[in-house]
Amino acid sequence: MSDAYLKFSNSKFGKPLFSALGLAIPPLLTRYRRGDSLVKESVVINVEDNLALFKACFMESKFELAGDSHEKTDALIFDATNIASPEMLNQCHAFFSQQLSRLSSNGKILIVGLVITSTMPILQAASQRALTGIVKSIAKEVGRKGCTANLIYTSALTSASLGATSRFLLSNKSAYVSGQVLSASGGEFTLKQWSKPLQGKTALVTGASRGIGAAIAQALAADGANVIGLDIPQAKDALEQQMATINGQSIILNITDEDAGAKISQAIKTPLDIVVHNAGITRDKTLKRMSSEQWQSVIDINLMSVARINEYFFANRCLSAHARIVCVSSISGIAGNVGQVNYAASKSGIIGLVEATARKLTVNNSQITINAVAPGFIETAMTAKIPLLTRHFGRRMCALSQGGLPVDVAQAIVFFCAPNAQNVSGNTLRVCGQNLIGA
């Protein structure tokens, strides 16, 4: 569905009119297109101490230490790992108050802090947690320029732990990801193959016939994966058409079947490197008007099927040693929504499933990772059915003042699937343009 307000407000005639009336003008976002540079060209960083490390992550970028220059830059990196007291937080003010004006439209801001542990001194922990408030507030200030700001907490400041996450957040692949916090653990895994990193990988995407599912399948294929799309019998024609465009394979199956995991395994006959649980439904009603069938069908498809299939895959070694599992949650699972108690429960349950599974995998020293994405207002056939006024406010209720596209969700999922993201697990990443609800 086209956003007429966005288009007209940025047109030759609309822009001066909207400015004169004091109306918000949503920025035009620059999204990644095949052949574009994978990272921002110019980067300003606050300290020299870890400059070599960041240069190793962004080999294509030109780095500059913060100074008195007023020239425009594509990205700002603030290394906050040395901040150990509230007094030291003034480093954030000193850097950003001077450098924010240099940031180009659609620029990127990245703050890097330390994972808070039980052994960390209290004032250091408080100061590191303060970074979350800083990045979320900065993201809201720069959103009007199409810029984003995000935070990585890392347990080990190495190129292996930061590489994939920092490159994603400082690229146009994260155009609709802002005000978010990700955790990256330490480790020695590294891979320099940034182009087509999924070459030779086998990926399963549920609900792949249309919308976000189709975009996920296309993005995985673009990065080299062999994609297997799964959907219900009613979507057979649409699924096969989608898979034909990417030389993919189709599986027609109801994921709520008790033996769905076994049927998938029999159809694929090879260990899966990537599993994306995207299939889901809504059955919206206020709770007192919701039937038990409407409640149960949403829980069964959106949550129970995911748990059941994962359980079968783990028990029967259907996953490769470094497999990636990504689940699709929702902002409704974080903030709730009127008339969506069933949907919010299922999507919040997905977040719990991801966190619990990640802990179990860590305890078992598994190299398999599991993460979730939580989309906000995304322009799909489903949101196109929302009443016009509600749809308008849904688009404007974020720092970037517009809805996202299915490709925004897809690129976040591809990031989690990359071999380079070995050290990222148990996260739920909101792809919502920093929606003001549940922020």
Alpha helices in 3-121 (DSSP H): 4-9, 14-21, 51-57, 90-99
Provide the angle, in degrees to the nearest 10, between the axes of the packed helices 341-363 and 305-315. 20
Given 5, 153, 312, 343, the catalytic residue:
343
CATH number of the domain within which 324 lies: 3.40.50.720
Average pLDDT over residues 248-276: 96
CA dihedral 52, 56, 60, 63 (to 10 degrees): -20
Residues 6+ apart with CB under 8 A from 383: 1, 377, 391, 394, 403
Q: With respect to residue 16, please indicate whether it lies within any of the assigned structural domains.
A: no
Within a domain: 329: yes
Once rounded to an integer, what is the mean pLDDT over residues 325-353?
Answer: 95
> Within this chain, do residues 241 and 380 fall inside the same structural domain, yes or no?
yes
DSSP single-letter state for residue 256: T
Predicted local confidence at residue 391, as pLDDT:
85
Domain assignment present for 64: yes
Measured CA distances, 20 to 4, 141, 401 (Å): 19, 21, 18
Check residue 69 and give its pLDDT: 87
Of the residues 153, 184, 215, the one at which a domain ends: 184
First to last CA, the chain: 25
Do 239 and 121 have their domain in common?
A: no
List, in sequence order, every residue forming a beta bridge with 276; answer none if it has no partner: 205, 326
| Helix boundaries (H) for 33-101 | 51-57, 90-99
pLDDT category of residue 439 using cuts at 50, 70 and 90:
low
> How many separate domains does the chain show?
2
| Lowest mean per-residue pLDDT among 156-165, 268-277, 331-340 | 156-165
Query: Is 32 in the active site?
Result: no
Q: Are residues 314 and 422 in the same domain?
A: yes
8 falls within a domain: no
pLDDT at residue 380, as a whole number: 85
pLDDT score, position 99: 96
Tell whether 43 and 122 lie within a shared domain.
Answer: yes
Mean pLDDT, rounded, of the chain: 93
What percent of the chain is predicted at pLDDT more than 70?
A: 97
Average pLDDT of the residues in 255-274: 96
174 and 305 inside one domain: no
- % of residues, the chain, pLDDT over 90: 81
The yes-or-no verdict on residue 12 having pLDDT over 80 is: yes
Q: 140 pLDDT exceeds 60?
A: yes
Q: Does the pLDDT of residue 11 top 80, yes or no?
A: yes
169 and 265 share one domain = no
Last residue within a domain, chosen from 122, 150, 184? 184
- pLDDT tens, residue by residue, 306-320: 999 999 999 999 999
pLDDT tens digits, one per residue of 198-234? 999 999 999 999 999 999 999 999 999 999 999 999 9
* Helix segments in 170-222, DSSP class H: 211-222
Looking at the structure, do residues 178 and 298 belong to the same domain, yes or no?
Answer: no
Band of residue 381 on the pLDDT scale cut at 50, 70, 90 = confident
Based on the fold, state whether residues 214 and 143 are members of the same structural domain: no
- pLDDT tens across 225-238, in order? 999 999 999 999 99
- What pTM, to 2 d.p., does this model score? 0.95
Does residue 244 sit in the same domain as residue 160?
no
- Please check whether residues 232 and 129 belong to one and the same domain: no
What is the pLDDT at residue 204? 98
What per-residue confidence (pLDDT) applies to 193?
Answer: 65
Domain assignment of residue 19, yes or no:
no
Q: Are residues 92 and 212 in the same domain?
A: no
Q: What pLDDT is stored for residue 408 in this prediction?
A: 98
**One domain for residues 263 and 330:** yes
The first and second tokens of residue 167, run together, are 């490159």
According to the model, what pLDDT value does residue 188 have?
57
Among 104, 308, 327, CA closest to 212? 327
Domain extent, residue 301, equals 202-431
Evaluate if residue 192 carries a pLDDT over 60.
Answer: no
- Cite the beta strand spans of 210-363 per DSSP E: 226-231, 249-252, 272-277, 319-328
- Minimal CA–CA distance to 113: which of 137, 80, 140? 80
- Identity of the amino acid at 60: E
User: Is 15 a domain residue?
Assistant: no
